[in-house]
Amino acid sequence: MLTKRIIPCLDIKNGRTVKGVNFVNLKDAGDPVELAKQYALKGADELVFLDISATLEGRKTMIDMVLKVAEHVNIPFTVGGGITSINDVDLLLKSGADKVSINSSAVKRPELINELANKFGSQCVVVAIDAKQINDDWIVHLAGGSVPTNLNLFDWAKEVEARGAGEILFTSMDNDGTKAGFANQALAKLSDTLNIPIIASGGAGTVQHFVETFKEGKADAALAASVFHFGEITIEELKVALKDNNIEVRF
């Protein structure tokens, strides 16, 4: 049986993890490779690295990091942030990334999704969508939720699938950072309308939230950052709880 996936997400700036990390036995909490190894050992199913470097220099450092992660970590990982071209993706995949995640660049030029899917295969193309609810409509936003577009979440998700995306990473800006649970209604609607896997993101605060997003939100995977980084929820306890709730997970 295909299991539900648990995905810690690491924000990377100039080759280092940002946001505090509260892990025991970690020599260097800012080192993404050390952190990734820990997560792989603890049973994370995949990892996502989000490059938030604003400079070209920072982006170059990202490639070095991808190479090191690929060298030392034996589970799949996705790299996102600032990807705008086939060349960017080519370099990341050649450096050992398994998938790439694109967001704004897909909204700005949707053909990029087709180009990447044709060249590298749908399986490595994740389209990240940030959306928030405005007057009962889910509206896609860019730049970390600050810039609204005229796209409706469900229409855009359908288009993204038709253009060849292999997976959707949906972050509810309304839920992100609240620790009050995932946007399960919208997630379930996405899952029912689309035939590609959906990763739930934004709102994880408790183990129960993960149970709910897999059951009510019908998510295929759930992504979170701070609850894992600060040790508020460990991957092990989370998986035990999911199993107790009859949700298939990998041990």
Partner 1 sequence: MKIVIIDYGAGNIKSIQFAFKRLGYNAILSNNPEVIKTADKVIFPGVGEASSAMQMLKSSGLDILIPTLKQPVLGICLGMQLMCKSTEEGNTKGLNIFNVKVKRFNNTVKVPQMGWNTITDLKSKLFKGVKNQSFMYSVHSFYAESCIESIATTTYSLNYASALQKANFYGVQFHPEKSSSIGEQILKNFITL
E-strand ranges in 14-124 read 16-17, 47-51, 77-80, 99-102
What's the CA gap between 140 and 132, in Å, rounded?
7
Which residue of the set 45, 51, 88, 130 is catalytic? 130
> Which of 169, 196, 235, 242 contacts partner 1 by CB under 8 A?
196
Please classify residue 126 by burial: count the beta carbons closer than 10 Å to its beta carbon, then call 0-12 exposed, 13-18 middle and 19+ buried: buried
Taking the complex as a whole, the smallest distance from the CB of residue 201 to partner 1 amounts, in Å, to 16
Active site residue 130: yes
> Which of 38, 53, 95, 175 contacts partner 1 by CB under 8 A?
95
Q: Tell which positions 109-128 bind partner 1, by CB under 8 A.
A: 118-124
Residue 195 binding partner 1, by CB under 8 A: yes
What's the CA gap between 91 and 96, in Å, rounded?
9
What's the CA gap between 46 and 250, in Å, rounded?
11
Candidates 240, 248, 171, 239; CA nearest to 215 is 248
- In the bound state with partner 1, the residue whose beta carbon lies nearer, of 122 and 133, is 122
Active site residue 64: no
Taking the complex as a whole, the smallest distance from the CB of residue 191 to partner 1 amounts, in Å, to 8
Q: What angle do CA 23, 29, 33 make, to 5 degrees?
A: 110
> Which of 26, 75, 86, 247 contacts partner 1 by CB under 8 A?
75
Binding site for partner 1 (CB under 8 A): 1-5, 40, 45-46, 67, 70-72, 74-76, 93-98, 118-124, 166-167, 195-197, 220-221, 250-251
Catalytic residues: 11, 130
